Structure 1
């Protein structure tokens, strides 16, 4: 088996179309992508050098158990989905769950993590004739060539979890062994979104990890429902991220939203700050809190975020899709480029462009300024009148 990185950047993104219960869909994902998941788990430095040592401490194990218990209470269907992925891929569940805990468990265990400037950049352009959400998907380099699409239709016999979900239909770009929802995604209600990781200094166990809140977001039927999911009243986020979203089937003029979500140590709900962009306005976000005032982890990711914001300072003047592609292709800052070809820590594994006017999703496997989209997916939405799916 060739080592990760030795095969170069592949222009290939596999996809699975699957239908069933949460466990069945998870199992099919695990079984189909077992080799990618197993290879990633074997080589993932974050898991093997940070998360597993934290899990093997008393405090880390307690955080693991407390958070798992909370999720089994509020989101049991997503735990079963992850159990299905573990069973299908023949990878122990605890290793996959640790990926979703991320810094929550290392902070609780007092494990110092490596300085890795992992992050993503998102631009939303809301101009006459052009309604675009563009996103660079940056991840640890072990993720390069180790990601896939999940297009799933999930049905439950009875309402499940905190929000009593009975049906979900979505397509999401996924990291290996991770639940859908923490990258770029859309659902059949017309929700389109991307995620920027944010690193609050203080994170909390027994709350809802961000990966699970963005997984739940895939069920959102409208904007108010999305806010309700992210606020997570009664528990709240254990860590933070930024969500860039819009709904394609809005009856009014297009509005894009950037939602900064942060954990709270005192309230049983997430801290949310929403910035809308109406027609004629644009949005930009990287990996630093811009409006929620909380302490952040001092890391290379903050330095990278500031550098990328400077490089992308022309985003407010962007008026079309070509401008978005030009901005997300920027490599001028050699230390912290917007598009990262590859380095020892992080790579831009894909670039996505949602065209909300044409209802398409273009995915680039390399710098979009230098290549054509690898695939252009239609955004398939639910017909409210007939309750069927239509293009």
Structure 2
């Protein structure tokens, strides 16, 4: 199908189970979803109209090379994963890596700004009430991304003899909703240590070359075993994040009361220490929390425009429902379309679309995924959250 021909929302989410080294898992993803990856690369206006032209300039190639060298040193296993995906799909590695650079290239080369300044992003709601321990999330993206995603459940095995990087190459088991050609971990995911999380993009005004792209830090979260380790990954001491983002998470195997955490992550600017800016908020029992696509606590300058306006509108629309108390209230909030311009569930514009909605139930240990507005449809799948403590 030509990339210019829009495909209506499909009630389908392809799912791959795979086991192997990082390269082998990446290769299986690329081989299995080759058609989806090729279609997305052809349809992506940001890749073809912004990233590739900048990549072909001296300044753009310098940003690309500096950042690639950094992740080859600190996260070589995830570079291998992208190489495997590129080889499996039969696409050039540099195109997939440019997607992982995201706004770093245009922001650094053009000294500020975003490739789109679009109201893209996601809305996340946490409800931490007795018997109702829930994390709900809308996965929003530019409209060409619609239908260009899939689920991956992977058992990653260390590959002897390769460089180990910052966090070593450890055995991993996880399930993640993935954008076509992008590393797992960037949307909503869980791992077998009990980490459940979702990601909100935040548009910091100043990004940095040679630092760690957020898609690598969110991928590294899939390996962590506990909250302290998650903070270490996000802080990325010795290098730091190149961009801004927010993580909403909890650990199902943590002892004591259920605690959710929101981590706001800011770029590691040259004037500061070589680590990410980090602010943590803990959501205790009886509390709730909402995060969209702007910083609520971390004092990081952001790009002004529709991303900020959209975040404010969505936050206001969710708050109008009152405190989330149960699964049904989260469904109503995430399906809200009352704002005339920027809705929580987005499908009224040609520019931005909600791809999927996910609700993690930490009591039942399930992950319900909707391919359309949850107020109007049933989940397309309800996945059990499988942990390492589960009996075989």
Change (3 A) 1:356 1:112: closer
The answer for the alignment partner of 1:353 in structure 2 is 359
Partner of 2:342, secondary structure, is: coil
Match of 2:205 among 201, 219, 237: 201
Q: Which runs of 5+ in 1 are unaligned?
A: 384-388
CA distance, structure 2, for counterparts of residue 113 and residue 165 of structure 1: 33
Return the match for 2:380 from 374, 378, 386.
374
SS in 2 for 1:160: coil
SS at match of 1:339: coil
Shift of 1:314: 4.2
Per-residue Cα deviation, 1:24-50 (whole angstroms, up to 9, x for no partner): 000000000000000100110111111
State whether residues 30 and 181 of structure 2, in contact with CA within 8 Å, keep that contact through their aligned partners in structure 1: yes
Tell me the number of residue pairs that the alignment of Structure 1 and Structure 2 aligns. Answer: 386
**Offset of 1:2 from its aligned partner?**
5.4
Aligned to 1:98: 98
1:244 maps to 2:248 = yes
Whether the aligned pair in 1 keeps the contact of 2:211 and 2:268 (CA below 8 Å) is no
Q: Provide TM-score, normalisation by structure 2.
A: 0.96
Kindly indicate whether the alpha-carbon contact (under 8 Å) linking 2:22 and 2:77 is maintained by their aligned counterparts in 1: yes
- Distance in 2 of aligned mates of 1:233 and 1:330: 39
Greater CA deviation, 131-140 or 338-347?
A: 338-347
Are residues 305 and 390 of structure 1, via their aligned partners in 2, closer, same or farther at CA, if it must alter by over 3 Å? Answer: farther
Following TM superposition, by how much is the alpha carbon of 1:283 offset from its aligned partner in structure 2, in angstroms? 1.0
Distance in 1, matches of 2:108 and 2:351, equals: 24
1:87-107: CA deviations, max 9, x gaps? 000110000000111111111
| Shift in CA distance, 5/360, structure 1 to aligned 2, threshold 3 Å | farther
Match of 2:310 in 1: 304
Q: How far 1:53 sits from its partner (Å)?
A: 1.6
Equivalent residue of 1:311, what SS?
helix
Counterparts of 1:112 and 1:178 in 2: how far apart (Å)? 19
Hey, what's the Cα distance between the residues in 2 that align with 1:165 and 1:315? 44
Q: TM-score, normalised by structure 1?
A: 0.96
2:347 equivalent in structure 1: 341
**Shift in Å at residue 320 of structure 1?**
0.4
Corresponding position of 1:226: 230
Which residues in structure 2 correspond to 1:160-179 (within 5 Å)?
A: 160-179=164-183
Partners of 1:178 and 1:238 in 2: CA distance: 17
What is the CA–CA distance in structure 1 between the aligned matches of 2:382 and 2:235, rounded to whole Å? 33
Cα deviation, 1:231-262, whole Å, max 9, x if unaligned, reads: 00000000010000000111111000010000
Task: Work out which of the residue numbers 141, 150, 154 in structure 2 matches 1:152.
Answer: 154
Q: 1:365 pairs with 366, 371, 382, which one?
A: 371
Q: Aligned to 1:116, which of 115, 118, 121?
A: 118
With 10-19 and 308-317 compared, the bigger mean Cα shift is at: 308-317
- Alignment match of 1:181 (pick from 148, 169, 185): 185
Q: Deviations over 1:3-58 (max 9, x none)?
A: 56643110000000000000000000000000000010011011111111221121
Corresponding residue number in structure 2 for 1:31: 31
1:386 is matched with: none
5+ residue gaps in structure 2? none
Residue of structure 2 in register with 1:137 after alignment: 139
The residue number in structure 1 matching 2:221 is: 217
